Amino acid sequence: MNPFSTSAENGLVNEAASFSTLANTWPHDRTTVLRYETIRTAISRAASNLETLLIAKPPAPILDLAVNQSGTKSASFAWTAPSNYLGQAVTAYDFRYSNQGLTEANWHEATETIHEPSPSLPNKAEVLTINNLQPDKTYYAAIRSQDRFGEISPLSNVVSFRTETPISSDEVNEIPEDPDGKIFDIER
């Protein structure tokens, strides 16, 4: 019986690791060796192509980016750590913000942050605070992730926030006047 039957040549060989054992037990005529090498090469190429297909998929986009709070010159954000197509942790984040809405088309024009956290394991909470913002301004922010294969995720959901208006020192020291000229009116 020829172990390299038509069905095997059509790709139904499922034990690639056992070829060396089988090659030692089968007759070593020229046809058997050529078929063995052809199938081994085909399986190697298929495995390489499969790995390429799996690797070529970018991580899923972050869809739960949220503004935790904003101050006069800072804002903090939270999201859930994503994974790549294989369920592995991503390796980097690219967080950007702008005073214009963010899209794929203008992403490269947005301000990059330089202190993104190192990614956690998938499904863990992530936080980031950005500083040195302008007071009383509206901003838009989004994030992307990158996996170990260099694949970059699509743009996350875009969030908007407004920094607070600073309180002047006059407002802090100013005590509202009472029409009766009293600061406190305590009735007994």
More reliable by pLDDT, 5 or 140: 140
Whole-number pLDDT of residue 16: 46
- Average pLDDT for the chain: 79
Q: Residue 28 pLDDT > 70, yes or no? A: no
CB 42, CB 88: distance < 8 Å: no
Whole-number pLDDT of residue 38: 79
pLDDT digits (tens, 9 = 90+) for 142-157: 999 999 889 999 999 9
In the chain, list all ranges with CATH 2.60.40.10: 66-166
Whole-number pLDDT of residue 170: 61
DSSP class per residue in the chain: --SS-HHIIIII---GGGHHHHHHHS---HHHHHHHHHHHHHHHHHHHHHHHHHHTSPPPPP---EEEEE-SS-EEEEEE--B-TTSPBP-EEEEEEESS---TTTGGGSEEPS-PPPP-STT-EEEEEE--PPTT-EEEEEEEEE-TTS-BPPP---EEEEPPPPPPHHHHH--PPPTTS-S-----
CA distances from 167 to 123, 130, 136, 173 (A): 39, 21, 11, 10
Whole-number pLDDT of residue 95: 97
Report residue 11's pLDDT band, with 50, 70 and 90 as the boundaries.
very low
Q: Residue 185 pLDDT > 70, yes or no? A: no
CB 112, CB 94: distance < 8 Å: yes
pLDDT digits (tens, 9 = 90+) for 88-126: 899 999 999 999 999 999 999 999 998 899 999 999 999
Whole-number pLDDT of residue 42: 75
CATH architecture of 66-166: Sandwich (2.60)
More reliable by pLDDT, 16 or 134: 134
Burial status of residue 152 (CB atoms within 10 A of its CB: 0-12, 13-18, 19 or more): middle
Report residue 17's pLDDT band, with 50, 70 and 90 as the boundaries.
very low
Q: Residue 77 pLDDT > 90, yes or no? A: yes
